[in-house]
């Protein structure tokens, strides 16, 4: 009999308990033994639940219970999750978490603590919600050199962008709906400003390249500046705007890791990923492109990944050797200004013809774009691939010459 404890009875925690009950027979069969949720930690009271007697407010009731062999941390946030998880591992309890903030900040350390104690620290649910991506990356694709990873990693922002584009819903209404559906973070700024996608690409990059990638070293831009005008220009260019997290190994051993909105061609496999769905493209040297697709947020999709990890840790007899990376204690991420990419740029100027001439002077041969009802003083274009530093300097130059740059969005070729 395996007894587990769940830390946090929010959207994901209640989903874990529900799934353990709903699919109990199958879970027991797959785990090879009886599985019981023995304790649930939450500061709130849930007197009406049929399992109200399992709740505690005191973590020591779980930590000091030798019958509990698996701790499921679904509280979110860094503290006290970090202290609780580390203490559980040091008590030789395996830990399963959906907490991307924790894994992105402390993954290397907690994996090492798990190894010292011959237990496991699993986090399939931390990236892609219900999509299997962590296990495929370190197991199924283990024979590959991972060239690149690019994905739509945040369900809330993808949901908002889809509602804005398809239904002309306002940003605020779409965000409210995402919160009601349990997709958004407690503080939705983490979704819309890109921090959540950043944590997820850091986890994937750390796993793929074996070195801890810290979120604070990753250039991150969210979706708050995207306008319906940009959406219309993306459409006339032949694509859509998506929030993309990407990681790539460079020849000098450094990594390019960034999060930002991007124009993506309608032909791309990532272009048709809408609503709360996530899509992650992994480019292996042997496999070529492999794309993982599914619900990236929500109660039961995320609980599905958590419970699968629980089944795996129950069956494990030692620490998984492939789920690992090290902390190099240095910044392994290249400065994005040194990298090259094409940009879509939208600007206004009193003299449109002058602005167009300046644009060509700054960026070289540009592809002019149009949209229905575009004002006379507006111009929009796509630059050739240039260093980000050159694009940044050129935007400054345009501004100094009374050309007001309203939007600058990278154009990616996936």
Q: What residues are labeled active site?
A: 200
Chain centre to alpha carbon of residue 204: 9
Among residues 183, 233, 237, 343, the one that binds ligand HSE under rule CB under 6 A: 183
Among 196, 221, 230, 312, binds ligand HSE (CB under 6 A): 196
Shortest CB 184 distance to ligand HSE, Å: 5
Q: Which of 197, 195, 154 is nearest to 175 (CA)?
A: 154
Taking the complex as a whole, how short is the minimal distance between the CB of residue 155 and ligand HSE, in angstroms? 4
156 binds ligand HSE (CB under 6 A): yes
Q: How far is the CB of 129 from ligand HSE (least distance, A)?
A: 5
CB of 99 to ligand HSE, least distance (A): 10
* Interatomic CA distance for residues 124 and 132, integer angstroms: 7
Q: Which residues, in sequence order, are CB contacts of 258 under 8 Å at separation 6+?
A: 201, 218, 219, 220, 245, 246, 336
Q: Which of 15, 129, 279, 294 binds ligand HSE (CB under 6 A)?
A: 129
User: How many Cβ atoms are within 10 Å of 31's Cβ, its own excluded?
Assistant: 17
CA dihedral of 59, 111, 287, 263, whole degrees rounded to 10:
60
Where does this chain touch ligand HSE (CB under 6 A) — which range of 134-142, 151-159, 352-360, 404-412?
Answer: 151-159
8 binds ligand HSE (CB under 6 A): no
Provide the token pair at 326.
């090290």
Residues contacting ligand HSE: total by CB under 6 A? 11
Strands (E) in 23-103, as ranges, are 35-41, 55-56, 68-73, 94-97
* CB nearer to ligand HSE: pick between 191 and 312: 191
Among 124, 191, 221, 378, binds ligand HSE (CB under 6 A): 191
Q: In what order do the strands lie in the sheet with 55-56?
A: 55-56, 35-41, 2-7, 68-73, 94-97, 121-122
In terms of CB distance, is 32 or 272 closer to ligand HSE? 272
Residue 243: strand pairing partners: 261
* Burial class of residue 127 (count of CB atoms within 10 Å of its CB; 0-12, 13-18, 19+): buried
**Given candidates 73, 101, 185, 312, which one binds ligand HSE under the rule CB under 6 A?**
185
Please identify, among the stretches 74-82, 164-172, 182-190, 230-238, the one whose residues bind ligand HSE according to the rule CB under 6 A.
182-190
Site string for ligand HSE, 294-323 (x = CB under 6 A): --xx--------------------------
Sites of contact with ligand HSE (CB under 6 A): 129, 154-156, 183-185, 191, 196, 296-297
């Amino acid at each position: 009999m395996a007894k587990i404890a769940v830390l946090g009875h929010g959207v994901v925690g209640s989903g874990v308990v529900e799934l353990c009950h709903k699919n109990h027979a199958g879970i027991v069969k797959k785990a090879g033994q009886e599985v019981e949720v023995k304790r649930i930690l939450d500061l709130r009271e849930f007197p009406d639940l049929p399992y109200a007697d399992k709740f505690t407010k005191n973590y020591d009731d779980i930590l000091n219970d030798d019958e509990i062999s698996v701790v499921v941390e679904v509280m979110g946030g860094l503290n006290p999750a970090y202290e609780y998880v580390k203490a559980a591992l040091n008590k030789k309890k395996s830990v399963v978490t959906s907490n991307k903030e924790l894994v992105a900040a402390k993954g290397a350390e907690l994996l090492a603590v798990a190894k010292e104690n011959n237990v496991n620290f699993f986090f399939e649910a931390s990236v892609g919600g219900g999509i299997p991506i962590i296990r495929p990356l370190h197991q199924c694709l283990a024979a590959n050199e991972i060239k690149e990873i690019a994905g739509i990693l945040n369900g809330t922002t993808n949901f908002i962008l889809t509602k804005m584009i398809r239904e002309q819903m306002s940003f605020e209404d779409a965000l409210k709906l995402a919160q009601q559906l349990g997709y958004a973070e407690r503080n939705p700024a983490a979704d819309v400003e890109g921090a959540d996608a950043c944590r997820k690409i850091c986890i994937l990059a750390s796993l793929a390249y074996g070195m801890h990638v810290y979120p604070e070293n990753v250039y991150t831009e969210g979706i708050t500046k995207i306008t319906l005008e940009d959406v219309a220009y993306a459409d006339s260019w032949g694509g859509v705007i998506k929030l993309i997290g990407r990681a790539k190994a460079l020849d000098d051993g450094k990594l390019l890791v960034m999060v930002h909105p991007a124009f993506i061609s309608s032909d791309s496999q990532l272009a048709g990923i809408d609503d709360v769905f996530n899509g992650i493209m992994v480019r292996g040297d042997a496999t070529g492109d492999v794309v993982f697709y599914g619900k990236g947020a929500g109660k039961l999709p995320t609980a599905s990944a958590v419970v699968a990890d629980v089944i795996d840790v129950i069956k494990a007899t030692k620490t998984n050797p492939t789920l690992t990376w090290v902390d190099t204690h240095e910044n392994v991420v290249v400065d994005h200004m040194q990298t090259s990419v094409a940009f879509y740029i939208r600007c206004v100027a009193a003299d449109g013809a002058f602005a167009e001439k300046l644009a060509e002077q700054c960026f070289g041969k540009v592809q002019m774009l149009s949209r229905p009802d575009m004002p006379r003083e507006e111009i929009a274009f796509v630059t050739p691939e240039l260093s980000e530093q050159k694009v940044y300097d050129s935007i400054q130059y345009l501004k100094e010459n009374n050309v007001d740059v309203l939007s600058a969005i990278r154009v990616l070729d996936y």
